[in-house]
A = this chain, B = another copy of it.
Amino acid sequence: MADKKSKREAIIYSALKIFERDGFHKAKVEEIAKEANVGKGTIYEYFKSKKDLFCQMVKHMMDLYIDMIKEIVEENIDPITKLQHLLNLQLELAKKHGALGHMIQIETIKSGIGKDIKPYFLEFRKKTIGLIEKIIEEGIEKKLFKKIDTYVAALFFIGSSNQFAFEINFVRNCKDEYDHEGKLDVEEFMNAFLKGLIK
């Protein structure tokens, strides 16, 4: 944590933790500083403002996420397994970072920081969708998938896997208050996604 870069990162990860838990407005700069073991003033040496810190944190996480998807896309495995890996990644991240993704989406729409992260978010979304499309295109080329619109399919995958992750990581944690007891595992999900509803 001695050199400049790692202190910046320490702050980013503390910010991640606090923003994740409290959302942008409820999060306190002082708590982020405490979490990072730095003084409150130090944060302002590395970031222009709370908003800037939030945006930098978001960018950082987006970049990491994109890298992780890229890795999967470039793996030497069949497209279906790639989608399965992607789903696993989603579940894992949701477990680690809660609804960070949703939060970013929301903050993008809301007034306030929206205008500052919108371009990054759109760029990120484009990249993510593009990478998923690649997997699907590969499946189409290999005659595994039908000639579906890859963009629609990608949206489909993102939306349903998010919902799936939310169900597993949040809703299922409120057992006392909730009670669906189905299997709800990855296989089940992939099956629905790949084969559709119709007989």
By a beta-carbon cutoff of 8 Å, the part of chain A in contact with chain B is: 21-26, 98-99, 102-103, 105-107, 109-112, 118-119, 122, 125-126, 129, 136, 139, 143-146, 148-149, 151-153, 155-156, 158-164, 166-167, 170-171, 174, 177-178, 180, 182-184, 188-189, 191-199
Contacts and interface: CB of A to CB of B under 8 A. Distances in A.
B184 A152 contact: yes
Contact of A156 (B99, B125, B193): B193
Contacts of A102: 102, 105-106, 109
B197 A194 contact: yes
Given A99-B105, A119-B177, A198-B146, A192 B23 contact: no
A164 B171 contact: no
Nearest to A185: B152
Q: How many copies does the complex hold?
A: 4
A156 B163 contact: yes
Given A23-B23, A146-B198, 20 more contacts: A25-B25, A26-B111, A26-B112, A99-B106, A102-B106, A102-B109, A103-B110, A118-B174, A119-B177, A122-B174, A125-B171, A144-B199, A145-B199, A151-B180, A152-B182, A152-B192, A155-B164, A159-B163, A194-B196, A196-B196
